[in-house]
Amino acid sequence: MAAVAGGQIDSVMQEKRLFPPPKEFAAKARIKSLEEYQELWDQAAADPPKFWADLARDELHWFQPFERPLVWKEPFAEWFAGGKTNVSYNCLDRNLAAGLGDRTAILWEGEPGDSRKLTYAELHREVCKFANVLKSLGITSGDRVSIYMPMVPELAIAMLACARIGAIHSIIFAGFSAEAIAERNRDAEAKLQIAADTGWRRGKALPLKETVDEALAKSPTVQKCIVLRRGAVAGLSEADGAGSGPGSQTPATVVSMQAGRDFWWHELMEKASAECPAASMDSEAPLFILYTSGSTGKPKGIKHTTAGYNLYAKKTFQWVFDHRDDDIFWCTADIGWVTGHSYVVYGPLSAGATVLMYEGAPNHPDESRFWQLIEKYKVTIFYTAPTAIRAFIKWGDQHVKKHDLSSLRLLGTVGEGINPEAWMWYHRVIGGERCPIVDTWWQTETGGIMMSPLPGAIPTKPGSCTKPLPGIIPEIVTPSGQPVGKNQGGWLVMTHPWPGMLRGIWGDDDRYKEVYWSKVPGKYLAGDNARCDDDGYYWIMGRIDDVLNVSGHRLSTIEIESALVSHPSVAEAAAVGRPDELKGEAVAVFVTLRSGEPNDALREQLKKHVRHEIGALAQPDDIRFTGALPKTRSGKIMRRLLRDIAAGKETVGDTTTLEDYSVLAKIRGDEE
Ligand code: ATP
Ligand code: MG
C-alpha cells in the first residue's frame, strides 16, 4: 500500500468472493446477462436524456405529452418539461385501466397480529375518498401536508391522496419527538397535519396524538389535524379483514380532540365521495419534501417532484428487484424514510406490484416475527437494512430455522454498507444460498437506487454495490475534481443529472448549491467515499467526513469495521479517528459483542485480528466495548457523535435524530 497524496483513500480490504447469478434466476430475469446489462448501460450513457425520455413515454400516463426531456440549468433540472401527469394516477388508475383492479396492492399486518388486504380497486376508492376529504378541509395544489403516522395502509392512502390533488407531503417518521415534528412543520410551512391516535411498537401503544398536540402548539402554520383511529379501521368492513386477528383491540388511550382543529379520519371519510379525478400536474410540480436521516448533521428538507421521480422509482424497482406479477414484495423500511417512499409505495404501486407492509418491531412478540411473516405471506423478495441484519445475526439462527423461507427468491439491503460477513450470513441463512443479494446504494437525494447488482445479470461480491444502473454515470475524484485510478478511494460524484434527483433543499437554494454542487464543479457530490475495482465494481467506503487520517494514510471506516465484524465475537463495530499527536489520528473503535465477555484478552485478540485481516496500519489503538451504538432513527451508526466522544469532548453535535439518548451516556460511562 503506497502513501497517497491529494486526498485519495487507501483501500486495505481484500474481498475476492464472487457469486454469479443462479442460472435459473437469470433465465427468467428481465435483464439476463452482463452483456445485456452493458448494452443497456452503454446505450443510456450515449444520450441519457433520450434514454429516459423513451422510457417516460411508455411507463407513465401523460395528460399532456412533454416537449423536452431535460432542461438543465446547473444545478437545477427540469425533466420532461411541458408534460402533465399525476403520480396517484400512475399508481392506481393506470393499473385499473390495465385490468389489475382485483390484484392485491397492499397486504398489511399490524404488530398485534391484525391483518388487512387492499386490492388496487379498493385502494383507488380509499384514495379518491381521502383526496376529497383533503379538499373539504381547504387543501389545494401546492399546500404542504405533514404526516405523522405508523405503518398502516392509511399512510399510503394519505400520500396518494395528496399526490392526487397536487398537495405536497412531508412525512415524519412516527418515532420523532414533538420538537422534531414542529421544526419540520415550520420549515415546510405545513398547513395540515395528518396523524394517528396511536401506533404499536414492541407491544406498546405509542401515544402519537399526544406528541402531535405538543408539536402543533409550536407549528403556527398548521390549521387542522386529521386523526386516524388505529385499531378501529376506518373505511373497511369486517369482510376485508378489518379488525380481525388477535390484536384487534383498540389501544386504550384517551385522545383529546381540539374542536375546530382536530377531525377523526373515519368521520370525514363517511361523508366523502369516491369520485375524484386525478389533477393534471406539471412534470416538475413538487411531490414531497423529506428530511434526511441526519447521519452527518442537521437534516435537510429534500425536494422531489412529479414525473422524473415517478419514472425513476418505477424503473429502478423493476430492474433491481426484477419484479414479476406473482411476486410478494416486502420492503421493511418505514415509509418515514425515502426507502419506504420509493419502495413501499411509489415504485411498487406504479409497477402494479403486491407489497407487504408490517407495522411493528422485528422482535415482537419474539425475534422470529419477520421469518414468520415471510412464511405466512409467502414473500418472494425481501429488502431490509444492514442494521437489521446485524441484529438478526446477534439474535441467532434458531429464530430463522423455525420457519419455511423457501418462497424467497431475492434479497436486498439498503441504508449502510453491509459488512461482507453479514452479507455471507444473509446469503446463507436467509437466502439458503439460492437467492441473489442486491446491495443497493442510494440516498434521500437520489430518489431511487443508483448502484446495485441487477440480480439476473451482475455477479455479486459481498460488500460491493457493484455497478451503476442504466442512465447513471458515477465517477470517483479527488477533492480537486481529478478522477482517481482503479482501486483508489475518493469522492463519489455523478457526472450527469438523472430523473430521480432532488430538485433542491426546501426553501434553501444556497444550501443546495453549496452541499451538492460547489465542491466538484459541474458534478453532483454524494458525500460518500468509494473506490472502483478492476472489474468496474464500486465499493462504498463511508462518509467523506468520517475518513481517518493515520500517519499520512487515509483510511475508510467501513473496511476497519468489516474486519472487526468478521471476528466471531463481534456483532457491530464503528471506527472513528481520535486526535493523536504522533499519528495525526489514532484508530478508535466501538464494539458491541455477539458473544464472549468484554475483557483485555479479547481486546488484544481483536487488535490482532484486524492486523491480520487488513494490516498493521489499521490496527485499532483504542477498543471500547459498549452495549449499543448511537444510531439515527433510521438505524444508521452516527459516527460523528462517536468521534466527539473518542476525542473526549464534553458536548457532542446535533443529536435531534438520535434514536436512543441513553446510549451516549452509557458509552461515556463504560469503563475502559
Ligand atoms: P444526512 O444526509 O442527513 O447525514 P443520511 O445521509 O444518513 O443523512 P440518507 O439519505 O437516509 O441520509 O442516507 C444515504 C446514505 O446512506 C448514503 O449517502 C450512504 O452513506 C449510506 N448508504 C445507503 N445505502 C448504502 C449502501 N448500500 N452501501 C453503503 N452506504 C449506503
Ligand atoms: Mg446524506
How far is CA 671 from each of CA 164, 221, 571, 597, rounded to the nearest angstrom? Answer: 56, 48, 19, 14
Answer yes or no: are the C-beta atoms of 91 and 311 closer than 8 Å: no
How far is CA 379 from each of CA 69, 306, 383, 398, rounded to the nearest angstrom? Answer: 37, 30, 11, 20
Q: How far is the CA of 636 from the centre of ligand 1 (A)?
A: 8
Nearest to 469 by CA among 44, 20, 26, 2: 44
Q: How far is the CA of 108 from the centre of ligand 1 (A)?
A: 27
Nearest to 423 by CA among 380, 378, 453: 453
Answer yes or no: are the C-beta atoms of 21 and 436 closer than 8 Å: yes
- Ligand 1, atom 16: closest residue by C-alpha: 415
For residue 287, give the amino acid letter.
L
Q: Tell me the per-residue pLDDT of 597-623, one tens digit each, with 9 for 90 and over.
A: 899 999 999 999 999 999 999 999 999
Q: Tell me the per-residue pLDDT of 270-325, one tens digit each, with 9 for 90 and over.
A: 999 999 999 999 999 999 999 998 888 888 999 999 999 999 999 999 999 999 99
pLDDT, position 186: 97
* Position 416 pLDDT exceeds 60: yes
Mean pLDDT of 370-399: 97
3 or 103: which leads in pLDDT? 103
Crossing angle of helices 557-565 and 600-614, in 10° steps, is: 120
Atom of ligand 1 nearest to the CA of 300: 3
In CATH terms, the fold of domain 551-668 is: GMP Synthetase; Chain A, domain 3 (3.30.300)
Q: How far is the CA of 630 from the centre of ligand 2 (A)?
A: 17
Instruction: Report the mean per-residue pLDDT for the chain.
Output: 94
* Position 240 pLDDT exceeds 80: no
Take residue 54 and report the three cell numbers written for it: 423513451
Compute the distance between CA of residue 529 and CA of residue 545 in angstroms, rounded to an integer: 9
pLDDT, position 437: 98
* Position 242 pLDDT exceeds 90: no
CA 597-600-601 angle, 5° bins: 80
Compute the distance between CA of residue 92 and CA of residue 120 in angstroms, rounded to an integer: 6
Take residue 235 and report the three cell numbers written for it: 373505511
The best mutation among 444, 516, 561, 654 to test binding of ligand 1, ranked by most ligand atoms within 8 Å of the C-beta, falls on 444
Mean pLDDT of 408-417: 98
**Contact residues of ligand 1, CB 6 A cut-off:** 292-297, 299-300, 414-417, 439-444, 465, 526-528, 540, 543, 634, 636
pLDDT, position 670: 65
The best mutation among 342, 416, 467 to test binding of ligand 1, ranked by most ligand atoms within 8 Å of the C-beta, falls on 416
Compute the distance between CA of residue 362 and CA of residue 360 in angstroms, rounded to an integer: 7
Strand duo 199-201 + 168-171: pairing: unpaired
* Position 672 pLDDT exceeds 80: no
Instruction: Give the closest ligand to the alpha carbon of residue 294.
Output: 1
Q: Helix, strand, or coil here: 221? A: coil
Q: Helix, strand, or coil here: 296? A: coil
Instruction: Give the closest ligand to the alpha carbon of residue 439.
Output: 1
Atom of ligand 1 nearest to the CA of 413: 27
How far is CA 385 from each of CA 109, 441, 634, 637, rounded to the nearest angstrom? Answer: 20, 11, 9, 12
Instruction: Give the closest ligand to the alpha carbon of residue 443.
Output: 1
pLDDT, position 6: 52
Answer yes or no: are the C-beta atoms of 257 and 228 closer than 8 Å: no
Is 23-61+88-472 a domain of CATH 3.40.50.12780?
yes
Q: Please, which residues bridge with residue 623 across strands? A: 589
* Position 232 pLDDT exceeds 90: no
* Position 108 pLDDT exceeds 80: yes
Q: Tell me the per-residue pLDDT of 23-60, one tens digit each, with 9 for 90 and over.
A: 999 999 999 999 999 999 999 999 999 999 999 999 99
For residue 45, give the amino acid letter.
A
pLDDT, position 641: 94
For residue 474, give the amino acid letter.
P
Q: Please, which residues bridge with residue 193 across strands? A: 146, 225
Atom of ligand 1 nearest to the CA of 527: 18
- Ligand 1, atom 14: closest residue by C-alpha: 443
Take residue 189 and report the three cell numbers written for it: 410551512
Residue % of the chain over a pLDDT of 70: 95
pLDDT, position 661: 85
Instruction: Give the closest ligand to the alpha carbon of residue 557.
Output: 1
Core vs surface per residue 409-447: b (16+ CB within 10 A) or e: bbbbbbbbbbbbbbbbbbbebbbeeebbbbbbbbbbbbb
Query: Which DSSP category does 325 fall into?
Result: T
pLDDT, position 595: 84
Q: How far is the CA of 386 from the centre of ligand 1 (A)?
A: 12
Q: How far is the CA of 442 from the centre of ligand 1 (A)?
A: 7
Q: Which of 244-248, 555-559, 646-650 is predicted with the least confidence, judged by mean pLDDT? A: 244-248
Mean pLDDT of 103-112: 97
Nearest to 359 by CA among 549, 212, 228: 228
Task: Express the helix, strand and coil content of the chain in percent, nearest 5 each.
Answer: 35, 25, 45
Q: Please, which residues bridge with residue 381 across strands? A: 329, 410
Q: Which of 12-16, 42-46, 307-311, 631-635 is predicted with the least confidence, judged by mean pLDDT? A: 12-16
Q: Which of 143-157, 170-184, 653-667 is predicted with the least confidence, judged by mean pLDDT? A: 653-667
Query: Which DSSP category does 328 fall into?
Result: E
Q: How confident is the model at residue 231 (pLDDT cuts 50, 70, 90)?
A: low
Residue % of the chain over a pLDDT of 90: 89
pLDDT, position 4: 40
Query: Which DSSP category does 439 fall into?
Result: E
Give the DSSP H or E segment for 231.
Answer: none
Answer yes or no: are the C-beta atoms of 642 and 572 closer than 8 Å: no
pLDDT, position 241: 38
The best mutation among 288, 292, 657 to test binding of ligand 1, ranked by most ligand atoms within 8 Å of the C-beta, falls on 292
Residue 57: Cβ within 10 Å count: 15
Q: How far is the CA of 28 from the centre of ligand 2 (A)?
A: 35
Residue 7: Cβ within 10 Å count: 18
* Position 642 pLDDT exceeds 80: yes
Atom of ligand 1 nearest to the CA of 291: 3
Q: Tell me the per-residue pLDDT of 190-214, one tens digit each, with 9 for 90 and over.
A: 999 999 999 999 999 999 999 999 9
* Extents of the domains making up the chain: 23-61+88-472, 551-668
Mean pLDDT of 461-473: 98
The best mutation among 442, 524, 531 to test binding of ligand 1, ranked by most ligand atoms within 8 Å of the C-beta, falls on 442
Q: How confident is the model at residue 249 (pLDDT cuts 50, 70, 90)?
A: very low
Mean pLDDT of 573-595: 95
